[in-house]
Amino acid sequence: MVVTPLKLAKAIAKRLEVPLVEAQGLSHRILGYFGFDRVVIDNALNQEDRRLFYRMQEAGLMKSSWETTLLLTGRSWRIFYWQLDESDLDRTLIGEVVNPPEIATYIGLPDEAWAHRARPAVPPS
């Protein structure tokens, strides 16, 4: 699968409900980070673009992941990554309903998962 600027722009326009001209600008801005890579390290993003990436993730068009590595000092360091969700881009363009991952998780829960039972108050000892 190849993500072209136009393909991404059409998916952005559809999912974020913005005009195609605006979506094309966002598409070029996003793809400018990826270059020939499939993954972008979060540290490369400025604050405004990071907000855009989170917006894309909420729309189900991007995914984030992380890994933890051990530094020479013995401390752990977490590295965050971003990648375009190519399969969701394609499904969006053909008109399939695509739920963001968080929503899909909640949709699959059984009815009893939504029941709330109040715990009896226990007086302090």
pLDDT digits (tens, 9 = 90+) for 98-123: 555 555 556 666 666 666 666 666 66
CATH of 5-108 given 1.10.3470, 3.10.20, 1.10.10, 2.60.120? 1.10.10
3-state secondary structure of 32: helix
Token duo for residue 39:
């993954």
User: What does the pLDDT average to over 20-39?
Assistant: 90
What confidence tens digit (pLDDT) does each residue in 44-94 have? 999 999 999 999 998 888 999 999 999 999 999 999 999 987 887 888 888
Q: Which segments of 17-100 does DSSP mark as H helices, in order?
A: 20-34, 47-58, 86-93
Provide long-range contacts, Cβ within 8 A and 24+ apart, for 13-22.
14/92, 14/93, 15/59, 15/60, 15/61, 15/92, 16/55, 16/59
